[in-house]
Structure 1
Amino acid sequence: MKNVLRERENHHREAPAELERRILATADAIAVRDLADEIAVTIEDMAGTRERTAATLTDPRLIGLLDARVRAVPERVRVALRPPATATGVAIIDRLPLHDTELGPTPGDWRQAAAWSGERDRRSTSFRLDVTMLLLARCAGEPFGWQGQQSGRLVNNIVPAPGHEHEQSGASSVALLSPHTEDAFHPDRAHLLLLGCLRNPDAVGTTVSSVREATLSTAHRHRLADATLPILPDVSYGDGFDDHPTPPIATLAAGPTLRYDPAYTPLDRADAEFRDAYTQLSAELERVARTAVLEPGQLLLVDNDVVVHGRVPFAPRYDGTDRWLKRVNIRLPQRNRAESGESGYGQRTVAPFRGETLVPQVVPNQ
């Protein structure tokens, strides 16, 4: 099952200039944090809603507040949340105001992060940052979660967790997290991913590779377009998928649309011709790979249809100072995929947002 790309020798180099960068004006960035705090205070004051809201962030009153207030987000911020515009399929958004002293310790796992988000003491900052991430994601499209992942939370916490150091999931650390399409196994996977950096003291890099920059022969492209192998859910969804059909899917479809997760793809079942095409694809994704080293307050916007992302290895401390990211899955209602007839292994989305996307179509004069 394991077929990860080789570890890069230079694990901590700075994000190259070729990655698209979008700079938030200081006043605009402060306005986003203030608006999110206003929403959080309002929902915290609603008796009986706090614990349930913190559990999944799907309380209808919170969703209503976000939908009502997203129009107050400065237009230049909404422009910055449009899909990445270059062949790299990635944009770094720089940055939200964030001070390490407001965070409290890095949680030991996502469950602890969720629990802290429900407390009224200083750690409720985590909840306000969740609201900030949702507000930004709502500018881009429709944020959603998964019933089977992190208990359906709309904002996932990505932190190293004891006992998970070597697995292929966001909770790992000392193992290279193989480049992959997020939730490649599912036809309803995100179109965009929004990653927000809260803490990254060891300059741990996020790797990104775009299939738009890959050079593949016509024969290899045709072979990868054949539905040949299934992709299985990763360990963050648990296990027990034997009762679900495992239909083969196309690795590379028109668009292009890439579905790539070698750690969860049974490549030993394929014929030599497909394995050769897959090996060439892996080599090309390695060749065009870049490493983005996010700093606190920076955001990484990833087009999940064309970009695979991963993470270089690092040594966790488990002392409250480790790397901490927040992640939101985003659906773009205007973007459709030609995929059907898949069960998604029984995994269902948690999707409380529906309606227009508020990203301006034309970048205004700065």
Structure 2
Amino acid sequence: MTEGVEQLYFHRARGLTVTGSAATAIAARDGRVLAAAAEVGAGRLVVVGGGELSALPFLGRADNARFLLNTLSWLLTGQYAPAGSELAKAVTHERCFTVRSFHPEEDLAKVEGSHVVDARPYRSLLERIGGGILPDPYQEQAAFLLEAELRFDEMPRVIREAVTTFRHRSNDYEGLLVRGLPVDAELPGTPADPARRLDKSTWLSELWLAGFASALGFPLAYHQEKHGLLFQNVAPTPHNAANLSSESSAILLDFHTETAFHPHMPDFLMLHCLRSDHDGIAKTIMASVRMALPHVSLADRCELFLPQFRTGVDYSFGSANGVQGNGPTLPVLYGNPYDPYMTFDLDLMVGETPHAQQALEALRSAVNKVQRWVRLEPGDLLIVNNRRAVHARSEFSARFDGRDRWLQRVCLVSDPVPSAADRRGSGRVVETVFAV
């Protein structure tokens, strides 16, 4: 059974007590027997301290696949598996394991499910919630956020339930699309400088962002991003049209985890559409880890769990455009091996070994296979689970005439404590410094 097996990976295995001369210990760690075999009468018996040894997330590790093939062959024939190494390689490196199917439609708005909630039937109620005097969200931020949280409690139950369910259980797409929220009646021109706030006669867009954020976690800003604005404008600019920036338009802004390099990266990202692009073609694209992993081999999946990937610091945080690998080293996958989290930046991340780079390329292919998208319209709010999905944006034509595509963005974390030391006082601006 151990022919060709040099190392086994056990996950949460329990030790076995082996008694009698008939049983043979075949795997041990730290003095504990973790697997044993014995001949019993005319038959054969194998006991393993944990079935996860042969489960899909772990079958690609070490020599687990070869051990499983040898074990099955020995139980059946009393011999190790013929050509076992070739079979094990086929199982771990060449095969992908799809455990269930997903809806093939790419346009998220056309697929019914918990990932979409329609706010339009509640328009009159939402207009009342958004009416009346509001504190200035930029000059009286604390008062505004408190008021937004209180008003969110008046939202229709179907909307609050969708947000709460998404926070606790998410969904296969790792995104929640709220369609048709009321928009500001008198919207100014799309900002030529997205890093500066604009005066508006009403604050509906900020109210929705702050209200939904209060149900999801703790909204925060980053000092280097839009000068620390909590409500960030996302709009095209001529000088960044071809840069890896939220202000680009002429290029595909490819799949990435928002601020993947940051020690306090957001758990959720919210994008609220105030104005569509002129041609109505810009797509906000997503790919979830749950949908992508079935397209990744077991061997590559195991590589992605190792801390051997260097990501790059974003252009907006002071890095030169497109510089790869000048950020921290981290794993791409982490957490529960059966339902992991993912940190991935297709443009700026590199593997530190040939095997790691190969695994990155495999994940690149996988996220492109499972991509889903939506064309955001005014009043749409898209919430992205930033730890389980990557997002992207297609190219579009910008005219820089004050009527270009305009989104507002808010980042938020589930727990404000880890970032507290990097925020001044009780503020919400993270001031972590990066050397690039």
Q: Output the TM-score relative to the length of structure 1.
A: 0.75
5+ residue gaps, structure 1: 1-11, 45-52, 118-122, 354-366
SS at match of 1:196: strand
1:37 Cα deviation from its structure 2 partner:
4.0
**Aligned counterpart, 1:78:** 160
Contact 2:174 / 2:288 at 8 angstroms: preserved in 1?
yes
Contact 1:146 / 1:348 at 8 angstroms: preserved in 2?
no
Contact 1:16 / 1:290 at 8 angstroms: preserved in 2?
no
**Aligned counterpart, 1:35:** 129
Query: Relative to 1, partners in 2 of residues 1:347 and 1:226: Cα closer, same or farther, differing over 3 Å?
Result: farther
Query: Relative to 1, partners in 2 of residues 1:191 and 1:33: Cα closer, same or farther, differing over 3 Å?
Result: farther
Mapped pair 1:291 → 2:368: no
**Aligned counterpart, 2:178:** 93
1:349 Cα deviation from its structure 2 partner:
9.0
**Aligned counterpart, 1:220:** 300
Distance 1:89 1:299 in 2: 14
**Structure with the greater relative contact order (CA < 8 A, sep ≥ 6): 1 or 2?**
1
**Aligned counterpart, 2:8:** none
Mapped pair 1:209 → 2:287: yes
Contact 2:257 / 2:387 at 8 angstroms: preserved in 1?
yes
**Aligned counterpart, 2:344:** 260
Q: Counterpart amino acid of 1:218?
A: L
Mapped pair 1:149 → 2:229: no
Distance 1:36 1:352 in 2: 25
Q: Counterpart amino acid of 2:118?
A: I
Mapped pair 1:306 → 2:388: yes
Instruction: Output aligned runs, 1:347-366, within 5 Å.
Output: 352=427
Instruction: Output aligned runs, 1:183-194, within 5 Å.
Output: 183-194=259-270
Distance 2:376 2:272 in 1: 8
Query: Relative to 1, partners in 2 of residues 1:54 and 1:190: Cα closer, same or farther, differing over 3 Å?
Result: same
Distance 1:195 1:174 in 2: 20
1:160 Cα deviation from its structure 2 partner:
0.3
Q: Counterpart amino acid of 1:17?
A: V
Mapped pair 1:328 → 2:405: no
**Aligned counterpart, 2:143:** 61
**Aligned counterpart, 2:205:** 129
Contact 2:109 / 2:116 at 8 angstroms: preserved in 1?
no
- Equivalent position to 1:234, from 289, 314, 337: 314
Mapped pair 1:160 → 2:242: no
Distance 1:286 1:350 in 2: 42
Query: Relative to 1, partners in 2 of residues 1:18 and 1:65: Cα closer, same or farther, differing over 3 Å?
Result: closer
Contact 1:144 / 1:351 at 8 angstroms: preserved in 2?
no
Distance 1:131 1:320 in 2: 23
- Equivalent position to 1:272, from 350, 354, 372: 354
SS at match of 1:308: strand
1:164 Cα deviation from its structure 2 partner:
0.1
SS at match of 2:383: strand
**Aligned counterpart, 1:9:** none
1:89 Cα deviation from its structure 2 partner:
0.9
Contact 2:108 / 2:372 at 8 angstroms: preserved in 1?
no
Cα deviation code 1:65-99 (max 9, x no counterpart):
33444433333332232327321111211121237
SS at match of 1:157: strand
Q: Percent identity?
A: 27
1:166 Cα deviation from its structure 2 partner:
0.7
The answer to which of 88-97 and 166-175 deviates more is 88-97
Contact 2:126 / 2:182 at 8 angstroms: preserved in 1?
no
Root-mean-square deviation over aligned CA pairs: 3.1
Distance 1:305 1:349 in 2: 25
1:173 Cα deviation from its structure 2 partner:
0.4
Mapped pair 1:138 → 2:214: yes
**Aligned counterpart, 2:99:** none
Contact 2:145 / 2:210 at 8 angstroms: preserved in 1?
no
Distance 2:313 2:170 in 1: 29
Distance 1:136 1:246 in 2: 31
5+ residue gaps, structure 2: 1-105, 429-436
1:111 Cα deviation from its structure 2 partner:
2.9
Q: In the comparison of the two structures, how many residue pairs are matched?
A: 307
Query: Relative to 1, partners in 2 of residues 1:350 and 1:230: Cα closer, same or farther, differing over 3 Å?
Result: farther
Mapped pair 1:24 → 2:105: no
Distance 2:388 2:220 in 1: 20
Contact 2:267 / 2:387 at 8 angstroms: preserved in 1?
yes
Contact 1:258 / 1:307 at 8 angstroms: preserved in 2?
yes
Query: Relative to 1, partners in 2 of residues 1:110 and 1:35: Cα closer, same or farther, differing over 3 Å?
Result: same
SS at match of 1:170: coil
Cα deviation code 1:254-294 (max 9, x no counterpart):
231111113222x2x62211111100000000000112111
